[in-house]
Chains A and B, each alone.
Chain A
């Protein structure tokens, strides 16, 4: 019979082990989301440009990233970036760069679908008013594409948040790592992993609910 004891879960443990990791997981998620969406949008525009020298590198990048397991990308970047820039990089910085570049591939597919969902007539209307390509994209197409795709982008971000736990592969100090160390130090691994799982669940699930609410609101507006 499993005897669980949560008495060691004191505020001191939380502030000593968990908060630091939680902040990093959050930071990693947010930076990779914002950076990934920006980079992903650029990749999507490249793929839709109709110019082979832009389409091909963007397609190659996206397809490569989407074909390799994330944990391998994390490891490879951790090993390769120091070789490229010539000095060692902390696990945390490496993780942030990796996730931004990796998630960009997924966000770009979402943005591509979003851009394609905007009718050609909208583009024609922008051009007909004398707008440049940049203005037509920036003022007309992308805002609508982004709004239409917001629920999907956020869902991807929830997946991203869960995936940040994979940085254990390079030893970065994230939320899961905090629990792991606390579990080791207090010799209570089962309890700490259980609490970690519940925490990941609560965060992801409540975000999912939020996305669903948002989806309904967007459907009403349209």
Chain B
């Protein structure tokens, strides 16, 4: 479903990504972790072309992201993305947040879009909040709406960039629960997160990044059992110790 082939990226002279290669099969859940600044966000944003890369290529469902002829908006419209800071549109109600892209990008009728939005809002347990603005919801609620918004486009896969790291601890689980449910339903997911409980529970593979490189790409059993690299071992012992 997602094939990342020898991606390298520079910011000026600074190399953010070095020869990254991996793939996500249909229905797989991949967790990406690593220290701050290791390039996780950059890599995941390359997948839907939010960040450009200079070398290598990425294929989403067979479509090249690097090819200048590719219709990127169209590709992005069926790749869902969830951000660390939710990025709901504050000037719209929850209902509008859920329907705007369905109407403007997919060309659905407003009724159809609202119906689909309501269904998804109900699914994340927030139907009574449909008329509110994002600022009136808690962080956990906003992130659940953001997931519903991404799902409203009927994505073929979902990208998550640290979806719970801006949340108060007591709200982390309500978001993770939605993600776990998604994973069980067979959604293809690439998730940047440090929630190792989530990784253990639903991931198929774990990718560990350091200084722009994929250092470890292993099944979760191997990763949590005996990471090969020393950096991954250190990283694991640090985040699992508390």
User: A residues touching B (Cβ–Cβ < 8 Å)?
Assistant: 119, 121-122, 124-125, 127-132, 135, 139-140, 143-144, 147, 221-222
Q: Hey, which chain A residues are within 8 Å of B48, CB to CB?
A: 128
Q: How far is the CA of A140 from the CA of B78 in the complex (A)?
A: 19
Would you mind naming 8 contact pairs between A and B with Cβ atoms under 8 Å apart?
A124-B81, A125-B83, A125-B88, A128-B50, A131-B104, A132-B73, A139-B100, A139-B104
Shortest CB distance A85–B (Å) = 40
Q: Hey, which chain A residues are within 8 Å of B76, CB to CB?
A: 127-130
Give which listed residue, A121, A124, A143, contacts B91 with CB less than 8 A.
A143
Give which listed residue, B77, B91, B100, B150, contacts A144 with CB less than 8 A.
B91
Closest B-chain residue to A146, C-beta based? B91
Instruction: Please determine whether A135 and B87 come into contact, CB atoms closer than 8 angstroms.
Output: no
Give which listed residue, B45, B73, B87, B135, contacts A130 with CB less than 8 A.
B73
Chain A at the B interface: mostly helix, strand, loop or mixed? helix
Instruction: Please determine whether A124 and B50 come into contact, CB atoms closer than 8 angstroms.
Output: yes
Instruction: Please determine whether A135 and B135 come into contact, CB atoms closer than 8 angstroms.
Output: no
| B residues 117-155 touching A (CB-CB < 8 Å) | 135, 149-150, 153
Q: Hey, which chain B residues are within 8 Å of A143, CB to CB?
A: 91
Instruction: Please determine whether A129 and B91 come into contact, CB atoms closer than 8 angstroms.
Output: no
Shortest CB distance A17–B (Å) = 45
Give which listed residue, B45, B75, B88, B105, contacts A131 with CB less than 8 A.
B105
Q: Hey, which chain A residues are within 8 Å of B78, CB to CB?
A: 130
Instruction: Please determine whether A129 and B83 come into contact, CB atoms closer than 8 angstroms.
Output: no
Closest A-chain residue to B133, C-beta based? A221
Q: How far is the CA of A131 from the CA of B102 in the complex (A)?
A: 10
Instruction: Please determine whether A122 and B153 come into contact, CB atoms closer than 8 angstroms.
Output: no
| B residues 143-179 touching A (CB-CB < 8 Å) | 149-150, 153
Q: Hey, which chain B residues are within 8 Å of A125, CB to CB?
A: 81, 83, 87-89
Q: How far is the CA of A122 from the CA of B146 in the complex (A)?
A: 12
